[in-house]
Amino acid sequence: MLDIRFVRENPELVKENIRKKFQDEKLPLVDEVVELDARNRAAMTEANELRASRNTLSKKVGMLMGQAKKDPSKREEAEAIKAQVKANADRLAELEALEDELAQKIRKIMLVIPNIIDPSVPIGPDDSANVEVERFGEPVVPPYEIPYHTAIMESFNGIDLDAAGRVSGNGFYYLMGDIARLHEAVLAYARDFMIGKGFTFCIPPFMIHGNVVEGVMSQTDMEAMMYKVEGEDLYLIGTSEHSMIGKFIDQMIPEETLPQTLTSYSPCFRKEKGSHGIEERGVYRIHQFEKQEMIVVCKPEDSMAWYEKMWRYSVELFRSMDIPVRQLECCSGDLADLKVKSCDIEAWSPRQQKYFEVCSCSNLGDAQARRLKMRVKSPNGNYLPHTLNNTVVAPPRMLIALLENNLQEDGSVRIPEVLWGYMGGTRVLTPKK
């Protein structure tokens, strides 16, 4: 969310940013919110003037009532001023109600106006305009067939989608045996990888209040993603970033404690509504999965340096498991409204002979901090911190990349060396059928 003062002083810049994001339907909102802000400030000015005059008039009434003992005409003058005080009080109540009404309207619009994107962001209407920046590792297509990922898992008796369908419906799964163990091994390795980078491990709440949801994501994303607990002000998290950033709601953070670097484990729950939908037989897009996440809360001047570090951590992690990846810069039309800059890390799929998304790294500037009323306490004055987030690893999607890139011609799967200790020393998975 932008600062209303910034919108007031730079309406054309805000409109140009909206055009760059191909959201022209939001252009009228800029003029509307500027007009509402002018009315709100006028109401506040009048209200402050009435509050200031209230004390002066009250003192004058007291003085006149004291003088009325000797001069009865003063009582009449005092009664006239009392009537004025009452009229002012009634007007002040009207203005305070108007201020509340206008403030709510302003906030509602400000939650919809997108954040200002970084000048380095490529301009384009949707993900088809995202730009490949760099590749890491050589993508290989083996001379033998790579089956669909669930077929690989089924060869190890490692997945049961039929049972999950009976119990929960599409978008759920049972992972079994070696595949389930490999799933947990990847999460444990990712946890320790991030701890080794100096991040503090955290297991956060898996449900959050509505005001936290509003603080961390756009309304559009919220409707498409979040499950609400019926009858309660609680939502199941779609990613632990939500509760991790929410940890700082209404907090004054001592500057000397920055940067806050946290890595978290959580299950995640998503509706996955819209054009993508839920897969019938796969585990790429599902309602429930587990994830290791990283978030940073830092000084504004440090956020771009952290952005660079964070996506490179993802590259390093995947390359340590012999998975080729690339960095893809997200274009303006593909950025969620709160994001200043974002990129995807995509893993190579030998079966599809193309890359697919496994991580998403985002710099949100001070948007989440402003929504959540986070502040940094500094000797030079308080300010809003910047927030960033990035996927460390999100199996079972990540298992697709690991299984495909480590599948041998005989159907066995080579376990990357970094996972041996998490797999009880197992180096190769042998098919059961």
Asked if 397 contacts 358 with a C-beta cutoff of 8 angstroms, the reply is yes
Same domain, 79 and 138: no
Whether 22 shows a pLDDT value over 80: the answer reads yes
The reply to whether 92 and 215 lie within a common domain is no
HSE value, Cβ hemisphere, 13 Å, CA-based, for 420? 7
Residue that wins the pLDDT comparison between 268 and 285 = 268
Average the pLDDT over 395-404 and give the result: 92
Q: Domain containing 49: what range?
A: 4-110
Q: What is the pLDDT of residue 178?
A: 96
Residue 120 is assigned to a structural domain of this protein: no
**Judgement on whether residues 172 and 315 belong to the same structural domain of the protein:** yes
Claim to verify: residue 137 and residue 101 sit in the same structural domain: no
- Give the pLDDT of residue 78: 64
pTM score, two decimals? 0.89
**What confidence score (pLDDT) does residue 294 get?**
98
User: Residues 245, 335: one domain?
Assistant: yes
Residue 251 burial (C-beta neighbours within 10 Å; 0-12, 13-18, 19+): middle
Is pLDDT of 349 > 80?
Answer: yes
Between CA 39 and CA 3 the distance in angstroms is: 17
pLDDT range class, residue 74, cuts 50, 70, 90: low
Do 221 and 370 share a domain, yes or no? yes
CATH of the domain at 141: 3.30.930.10
pLDDT at position 278 is 55
* Residues 49 and 79 reside in one and the same domain: yes
Q: Is the pLDDT of residue 61 over 60?
A: no
* Strand ordering across the sheet containing 354-363: 131-136, 325-329, 341-349, 354-363, 386-393, 288-298, 260-269, 200-202
Domain total of the chain: 2
pLDDT computed for residue 71 by the predictor: 61
Domain final residue pick, 46, 77, 110: 110
Q: Decide if pLDDT at 104 tops 80.
A: yes
Residues 46 and 92 in one domain: yes
- Establish if 121 belongs to a structural domain: no
> Tell me, what CATH number does 45's domain have?
1.10.287.40
The overall average pLDDT reported for the chain is 92
User: Around Cβ 163, how many Cβ atoms within 10 Å?
Assistant: 13
